[in-house]
Amino acid sequence: MKSLLPIHKEIDNRTLLDRVEDAMLPLINLVFLLLLFFIVAGHLTDDPLPTLPGTAEEGESTAPKADLIVKSDNQWLIGQKPVSRDELAQQLPAPDEQRPLRIAADAGITLHDLENLLQALESAGYRKVTLLTEPSL
């Protein structure tokens, strides 16, 4: 009588390690494809950053208002009016420890001129000053 069971293929002579490696190959392929998918999907949705509320548009000045402006020719300005060393203390706001004096100095001013200005401010009672700068592009 003939057996109804299917005829078995050859006996697999591979080691257990070889059979496990063969079984892991589809899983490795799947992980690789998922990795590629997320890399491509991440680059397709590269949106620019949104403009935050309260940020300045191009052309708008966000520079803080200076109490004293020093030009490159060592001219001192308070509210667009030139002042001398003698008038400096009367024209500036009173010294305040909570709010330091804001000075906008031109990039062409010499260190000697800036030192003279700071000495004049110190003799007028100003202990804290803030030098306003412009970011370099």
**pLDDT interval class at 88 (50, 70, 90):** confident
**pLDDT interval class at 108 (50, 70, 90):** confident
Asked whether the whole model's pTM tops 0.85, one would answer no
Q: pLDDT at position 27, please?
A: 92
Render pLDDT for 43-82 as a digit per residue (tens, 0 to 9): 665 567 777 776 555 555 555 688 888 888 888 888 889 9
Q: pLDDT at position 46, please?
A: 59
Residues in Cβ contact with 114 at an 8 Å cutoff, skipping those fewer than 6 apart: 70, 105
Query: How many Å apart are CA 88 and CA 111, to the nearest integer?
Result: 19
- What is the helix (H) or strand (E) element at residue 120, kind and residue range? helix 111-123
| Residue predicted with more confidence, 126 or 48 | 126
Q: pLDDT at position 54, please?
A: 66
